[in-house]
Amino acid sequence: MEQKLIVKMVLDSWNSAIARTGKLLNELTDEQIAADAAPGRNSGKYLLGHLVAVHDRMLPLLGMGEQVYPQLNEAFLGTPDKSGREMPSVAALRSYWTDTNERLATHFNNLTAADWFARHTAVSEESFAAEPHRNRLNVIISRTNHLNEHLGQMLYLKPIPQEA
């Protein structure tokens, strides 16, 4: 019972951050996403590609198959923004974002509560015996925190509200 409850609490929190980010992306034009979140900081495009790559890599980490977009790793994980690596268009990244999170949601729906408390693939059976918190659900907690941190930054892509 409590297992199921806590899985709901953690997934609700993940889904809420995914939904808020999706809503923000819908409110922004491609040009606004291509701009820097603040002067001299990461562009919204880089942040979006970074989030797609990090979420795409949750597939192997959670034992749900291979990455679908490994070609994003170099530009969005291996190197910082403005390093000259070729990036997909904002339109392509929007579609990867939706696709990746829908794919994860489909996999998540197939897991039982007990599956969530099983180890993720980056921890060995031996280590997991001593560190049972390194389970699939902890990956969601960690990635939700990561998403919220960058969502806070991407909110700065919105036009500054004018004084009344």
Question: What is the contact surface with a second copy in residues (CB under 8 A)?
Answer: 2-3, 5-6, 8-10, 12-13, 16-17, 37-41, 117, 132-133, 137-138, 141-142, 144-146, 148-153, 155-156, 160
11 token code pair: 């997934």
In this complex, which beta carbon is closest to a second copy, that of residue 59 or of residue 147?
Answer: 147
Query: b/e for 19-36, b at 16 or more Cβ within 10 A?
Result: eebeebbeebeeeebbeb
Q: How far is the CB of 83 from a second copy (least distance, A)?
A: 11
In this complex, which beta carbon is closest to a second copy, that of residue 69 or of residue 81?
Answer: 81
In this complex, which beta carbon is closest to a second copy, that of residue 36 or of residue 99?
Answer: 36
Q: How far is the CB of 34 from a second copy (least distance, A)?
A: 16
In this complex, which beta carbon is closest to a second copy, that of residue 12 or of residue 102?
Answer: 12
What residues form DSSP beta bridges with 135? Answer: 119
| DSSP structure string for 5-69 | HHHHHHHHHHHHHHHHHHHHHHHS-HHHHHSBSSTTS-BHHHHHHHHHHHHHTHHHHTTS---S-
Q: How far is the CB of 79 from a second copy (least distance, A)?
A: 14
Read off the DSSP letter of residue 70: G
